[in-house]
Amino acid sequence: MRKSQTEVNDSHVKLSRRTLLLGGAQLALVAGLGMRMRFLQLDQADQYRLLAEENRVNIRLIAPARGEIFDRNGVAIARNEPSYRIIMVREDAGDVDQVIDRLSKLVKLDEVELERAMTEMRRSPPFLPVTIADRISWEEMSRVAVNAPALPGITPEVGLSRFYPLRSDFAHVIGYVGPVSDYDLSKIDDPDQLLRIPRFQIGKVGLEGRLEDNLRGVAGTKRVEVNAVGRVMRELDRRDGQQGEDIQLTVDQKLQSYTQARLGDESAAAVVIDCQNGDLLSVVSAPSFDPNLFVEGISVANYRRLTENDHRPLATKSVQGTYPPGSTFKMVTALAAMEEGIISSDNTVWCPGHMEVSNRRFHCWKRGGHGHMNLEQALAQSCDVYFYDVALQVGIDKISAMAERLGLGHRFDLPMSGVAQGLNPTREWKQAVRGQSWLPGDTVNVSIGQGFVLASPLQLAVMTARIASGKAIQPRLVKSVDGVERPVAVAEALDINPAHLAEVRRGMNTVSNNRRGTAYGSRIIEDGYRLAGKTGTSQVRNITAAERAQGVFRNEDLPWNRRDHALFVNYAPVENPRIAVAVIVEHGGGGSAVAAPIARDITLQALYKGDPPLEAYPSKDRKRIQEQQEELRKLVPSRNLTRSDRA
């Protein structure tokens, strides 16, 4: 049926309207898409370019070279050495077991390390490198490089690793580095991303740990292009990091090495300090250990050998160890009494060999007594009863105050692990810690360095330096950082009458240079180098009345760990003190027989800056000393360890 003209016109109108609506909608859609494209391509171009770049480019950290450590004369004691290692990429190796078998014929592979590497390889993507052998020799490195065509997936690499050329001589001073552990990370609130680099080394103990922020340096970066699965395609650019700061110590390497050798296998410690500026010239604990064992992670067997040794080679006895100072404390008691006007050089005390205090008998080391003793004689012959008497007159309060003035009971700020405070006991301390009142017997014990009082070899060296110089010497270990000299604290004069200090020095001089002095056998006879000192023997057990009645056991008849500690402190030269020395030999017996000869030898080495002439020793000792020096020369490093310039 044919449509009328009206119906045809109506259809055209409807079609035109629909066309306009549809066209308008399409135009709006195209316009919207265009605007969106403009927004993405122009307005948001930088953001999307960055996102694309992040998917394509990775930024990776480059570990900086660690700062090195030197002695006062520029001798390297902790440095970085090339560390050769072998890495493997699993996807390039093909048959991993076959390649490992070929490699094992060229390089000795540690089974434990190899198993760890294989475990790491199974967990990692096939394109990531895994270390198969670390710290291999240059010869092994060369063999691998020459046979590279037969070792697919194997690549020799060179890195830097910490090395301690003097091994055990500085172990207790500088400590060591080791791989970052989960425990290390748990102690840091916001750990540096450097610490997450596999096998990155940080300072664990000692100066390496205390000055970690100075030594670590600042990381570098490199930009690498990666594909969709993270495989590195190429390196785009690199920005090297900043090497850690070099540290120069006040310690003298030759003296340190000699002292370590002189202490030998004894469980002992020695400290040498400059009497003028507080520089620590030697800080030694014995026996020692090789810190290189810890750099890559010490084995269980080696660690057990160190921890099960009853001489405690891991302990830094020079600053951590605290001991009853024995008779080396008598100078403190004497100065306290003189400052209070209780004694003078002419006052005498009768020593019958004991003193009754509060219904308890306190004995002198000399069973028959010393008779009448003045201060100089009491110091020279180490009469206990003399100091019992004056201590009861002066009281513990004044004795404690003098001990504090001389540096006892003070924790010095040194970058070493576990610097001890020691114990300078007071009435308040005993009441707070023991819940007991102070007794006269406590004062008597403290007067001769027994009872509650405890001091470290470092503190005893500082005490001796202060007596010798009359100044409040502060110990210093770091000489400079990155070539910038650390300031030396100006030592103020001690608040002690110089005349009283002179009296004590005279007594210490008599100890070493008078025939009746307890250290006369360890004197120096060379004019201008004579020493003044004080012996000490501190008990580690109580001597019962029954034992005294039967005769006190000799130290050599007792088990090693029940013998007395042997101590000696001294300064030299007598006329113009330059150094002070403190030595303790754990369970060594008598201070005059054991500690004094060691201190005398160390003192001469420090003054002469090397082996002294035999004429400095008493004639009867010269043959023995000559043989001793020849033996010690074999133990003291003689290689060239001088500092090399930084690149």
Give the C-alpha separation, 69 to 78, whole Å. Answer: 5
State the pairing for strand pair 69-70/247-249.
parallel
Tell me what pLDDT residue 626 has: 94
Tell me what pLDDT residue 435 has: 95
Determine which helix (DSSP H) or strand (DSSP E) holds 599, and give its type and residue range.
helix 596-608
Of 157-171, 350-364, 424-438, 630-644, give the lowest mean pLDDT range: 630-644
Res 639 pLDDT > 50 = no
What share of the chain has pLDDT > 90, as a percent? 60
Res 553 pLDDT > 80 = no
Q: Collapse the DSSP code of 273 into the 3-class scheme (helix H, G, I; strand E, B; otherwise coil) and give the result.
A: strand
Tell me what pLDDT residue 604 has: 97
E-state strands within 519-593:
532-538, 565-572, 579-585
Interval 383-439: pLDDT, tens: 999 999 999 999 999 999 999 999 999 999 999 999 999 999 999 999 999 999 999
Whether 327 is a known active-site residue: answer yes
User: Which has the higher per-residue pLDDT, 14 or 200?
Assistant: 200
Of 38-42, 297-301, 565-569, give the lowest mean pLDDT range: 38-42
Interval 445-492: pLDDT, tens: 999 999 999 999 999 999 999 999 999 999 999 999 999 999 888 889
Question: Mean per-residue pLDDT for 183-202?
Answer: 77
Dihedral sign for Cα atoms in the order 152, 153, 159, 163: negative
Q: pTM for this one?
A: 0.84
Per the listing, tokens 């004795």 go with 399
The b-or-e profile of 112-131 (16+ CB within 10 A means b, else e) is ebeeebbeebeeeeeebbbb
The length of the chain, given as a count of residues: 647
Give the C-alpha separation, 508 to 517, whole Å. Answer: 9
The model's confidence at residue 8, banded by pLDDT at 50, 70 and 90, is low
How many other C-beta atoms are found inside a 10 Å radius of the C-beta of residue 56?
14
Pull the structure tokens for residue 79: 């440095």
Res 173 pLDDT > 80 = yes
Interval 119-139: pLDDT, tens: 878 877 776 677 888 778 888
Tell me the pLDDT of the chain averaged across its residues.
87
Tell me what pLDDT residue 643 has: 47
In the chain, the domains with their CATH numbers are 60-90+99-249 (3.90.1310.10), 253-635 (3.40.710.10)
Tell me what pLDDT residue 645 has: 40
User: Which has the higher per-residue pLDDT, 270 or 160?
Assistant: 270
Question: Mean per-residue pLDDT for 360-388?
Answer: 95
Tell me what pLDDT residue 310 has: 92
Give the C-alpha separation, 175 to 209, whole Å. Answer: 7
Pull the structure tokens for residue 155: 């690549």
| DSSP code, position 610 | S
Choice among 161, 327, 400, 417 that is catalytic: 327
Per the listing, tokens 């330059």 go with 578
Interval 515-527: pLDDT, tens: 999 999 999 999 9
Tell me what pLDDT residue 445 has: 96
Question: Mean per-residue pLDDT for 226-239?
Answer: 61
CA angle 572, 75, 458 (to 5 degrees): 40
Pull the structure tokens for residue 623: 């043959």
Res 55 pLDDT > 80 = no
Bin 294: left if φ > 0, else alpha if -120 < ψ < 50, else beta. alpha
The model's confidence at residue 286, banded by pLDDT at 50, 70 and 90, is very high
Interval 137-151: pLDDT, tens: 888 888 888 888 888
